Amino acid sequence: MSIFETIDSCSDCKLVTLLLYLALAVGVYKTTTATLGFAALVADCFLLPAVNFAKYGAAKKAKYWAVVTGASDGIGKEYALQLAKKGLNVVLVSRTQSKLELLAADIESRYGVATQVLAFDVSTDETANYEQLSAVISTLPVTVLVNNVGQSHSIPVPFLETEEKEMRDIITINNTATLRITQVVALQIVATVAGKSVRGLILSMGSFGGLLPTPYLATYSGSKAFLQQWSAALAGELKPQGVDVELVISYLVTSAMSKIRRTSVTIPNPKTFVASVLRSAGRRNGAQERFGTTTPFWSHALMHWGIENTVGVYSKIANTLNLNMHKSIRARALKKAKRDAKKE
């Protein structure tokens, strides 16, 4: 007996039969879209060749420039190194002048490209900083911007116990500074690519903390969710002007921010993570349901797709699991702080 005959035999009521057919159609649709999304994920992460960065101006005889914020350490440093290796000159922006100068010298000696350095503290949100950045890039043909600078909570903390300075710093660094830097640099990118075959690229760092509402990291979670909406909106605005905009979603990466040192299947080091971003720039990977968004590292992509297609990122189940996980992390962090205080 076919499924249609089964439905017809279940009830003589036309309304019930109609509802059963509707449920079948919805089920087929959901199964089809989930299957196609997973197939696209596999293609993006594992099958398609690496993106040729020549379309963003990368070449052996470096002419075009990339701007990287938070460039002195970790993920930002890797972005700078790997973009330089591809043949882009690099403007390095971060807080510590000495670290920037060391990195600039290393990049120039290794890859034979030019560098510029600009040191400022984004948490101050001073207009003079953005004016300095505008002056530095005013004569440079910039095609790439990487918004890597960011801040989270020192440890998971209930929102009602979050210090005002920590809240303000997170919003200023993750949101206000990112938007103001992008406004300065994107104007230069649009001017650079206008009428040329080269395209522009703007990458902003997102997080699973923004993908899923995250209790005990409420301010950070909200700041990254804001970047999701803003980045996707900006992608729509700038695509007709030859600029690709993507929010880059990641789970954990070994870094000073995450306080994790050991790599695993789900926790890559900065070098591996950045390589996955640049390999698939412009593709969605695990973020199949989102425009202007990518979850590039393969295990993160599978996690993103799995959550979205099972419990859902906004579900009570996901929220509760996140709450319990971060409660546990907070408890362990407080115990460690207590032990360390006793040692002193």
The pLDDT tens digits for 257-284 are 788 889 999 999 999 999 999 999 999 9
pLDDT in tens, 29-61: 788 888 999 999 999 999 999 999 999 999 878
pLDDT in tens, 127-145: 999 999 999 999 999 999 9
Q: Which residues are bridge partners to 294 per DSSP?
A: 248
User: pLDDT tier at 3 (50, 70, 90 boundaries)?
Assistant: low
pLDDT in tens, 67-83: 999 999 999 999 999 99
pLDDT in tens, 9-21: 555 677 766 777 7
Query: For residues 160 and 215, what is the distance between their CA atoms, to the nearest angstrom?
Result: 11
The pLDDT assigned to 29 comes to: 78
The pLDDT assigned to 8 comes to: 53
Q: For residue 80, how far is the Cα from the chain centroid?
A: 16
pLDDT in tens, 95-120: 999 999 999 999 999 999 999 999 99
Q: In the chain, what are the domain boundaries?
A: 1-48, 52-329
CATH 3.30.2350.10 applies to domain 52-329: no
Ordered DSSP codes for 43-76 = IIIIISPPP-GGGGT--SS--SEEEEESTTSHHH
Query: For residues 147 and 70, what is the distance between their CA atoms, to the nearest angstrom?
Result: 8
Residue 204 known to bind ligand: no
Per-residue pLDDT at 26 exceeds 80: no
Query: For residues 293 and 247, what is the distance between their CA atoms, to the nearest angstrom?
Result: 5
Residues with active-site annotation = 220
Output the pTM of the full model: 0.92
Strands of the 200-205 sheet, one edge to the other: 115-119, 89-94, 65-69, 142-147, 200-205, 243-248, 293-294
Query: For residues 189 and 242, what is the distance between their CA atoms, to the nearest angstrom?
Result: 9
